[in-house]
Copies of this chain bind each other. A is one copy, B any other.
Amino acid sequence: MVGKVITKSKDITRVTLDVEEIPKKWYNIAADLPGGLPPALNPGTKEPLKPEEWEAIFPKGLIKQELSTDRFIKIPDEVRTALAQFGRPSPLYRARRLEKALRTPARIYYKREDLSPVGSHKPNTAIAQAYYNFAEGIEHLTTETGAGQWGSALSMATAYFGMKCTVFMVRSSYDQKPYRKYVMKLYGANVYPSPSDKTAFGRKTQAEDPDCPGSLGIAISEAIETAVGTPNSKYSLGSVLNHVMLHQTVIGQEVRAQLAKIDERPDRMIACVGGGSNFAGFTFPFIYDKLKGKNDARFIAVEPESVPSLTGCSSGESRYDYDFGDTAGMTPLLKMHTLGHDFMPDPIHAGGLRYHGMAPTVSALYDKGMIEAEALPQDETFAAGMLFTRTEGLIAAPESCHAIASAIRHAQECKRENKEEVIVFNLSGHGLLDLQNYATMLGM
């Protein structure tokens, strides 16, 4: 069944899709990366990691995806059903009121990943990961979370499949953002502040620095240690790895179908990057199209000035090299743009963008010049978020405010250059549980 363009008046455009239009396949960019995706390495041997070496932490179904070079991977019916339960397909909106406020000739669209029950794009992979673990009889997943978006999504997904979930939450967020902790507990998850006393690495970290505020890298180490040491348990990662990226491509595939319905073609596609998954999910299907000559879009990854894993490469702050995904060095080595696995980020408000590395797929694309990157200052992103609230009516996550701020910059450039370009950004999440950050930044 075909979805419809909805243009009720000059003041609104909302493009919806039917449940049947949830994509049936994931797109795997590993099939199309020039030179292929650099493999993950065993830290000891420096040899490409063998499938069986992944098995301590991941189920076979996900390892197969992680190592796959198949361009398309079928989405199981059980996953599509769960995606529908939790709100997919999500609508695409035209930001007419924002355009008007900016007096730009550009047409601005945004994809609404904020409408999932946990308020972000994270369920797209959480559901898939929980499913593949569930299908292999795993009863318990462990993971890390920063501000709590990912932990909430995995807690929801494990509840859906009747599994247990243990989340190590960066201590500073655990203390400062109690609401997302409660979300996870309401779904039935065990939530511990990291560094915790539940793992050897957590206890060691606490001993060295009793006031350690934690980091995603530390929390990953604790989650992996717990998965490895607990029967019938696996670990789940919310970003970075390629199976995560490909799960997110439902976003871009929906956007493609939605833009096609209104005969639009994107000129600039913008998303924020922490580990890279919402950017990947949003842009990869369009990068595939561009390789086939079907569009000539620019793809812009937006990061915080204080965590310049991509943009810091020119100044030497970051490098494109093999590094660990976590702080303790328990993960395989991944080739990525990295600030160093011992990087301790500023306590900026966009917790989801504080990760030291960048997904190997996104890194490879950046290295090859196939995507661009921008770094934005925090105050500009919150001011952009406020303008978005007052024009479009929605409260964006601090992470998503980076995409909004960049879209505004590009719309202003279009105004100066009188270009009627099509700017599309990904509204990766809502900011209802980040209102204290808004209040602090905007002096409310």
Contact = CB atoms under 8 A, between A and B. Distances in A.
A11 B85 contact: yes
Given A81-B9, A187-B390, A433 B432 contact: yes
So how many copies of this chain end up in the complex? 2
A264 interface: no
Contacts of A178: 435-436, 439
A132 interface: no
Nearest to A184: B444
Given A182-B444, A390-B188, A84 B18 contact: no
A243 interface: no
A160 interface: yes
Q: How large is the interface on A (under 10, 10 to 19, 20 to 34, 35 or more residues)?
A: 35 or more
Interface in A65-123: 77, 80-81, 84-86, 115, 117, 119
B8 A393 contact: no
Q: List 8 A-B pairs, minimum CB-CB distance, nearest first.
A: A182-B435, A6-B19, A179-B435, A185-B444, A182-B439, A117-B393, A9-B81, A186-B389
Interface of A: 1, 4, 6, 8-9, 11-12, 14, 16, 18-20, 77, 80-81, 84-86, 115, 117, 119, 156, 159-160, 178-179, 182-183, 185-188, 386, 389-390, 393-395, 432-433, 435-436, 438-439, 442, 444
Given A6-B18, A9-B77, A179-B435, 14 more contacts: A6-B19, A6-B20, A8-B20, A8-B80, A16-B16, A115-B115, A117-B393, A160-B393, A178-B436, A182-B435, A182-B439, A183-B432, A186-B444, A432-B433
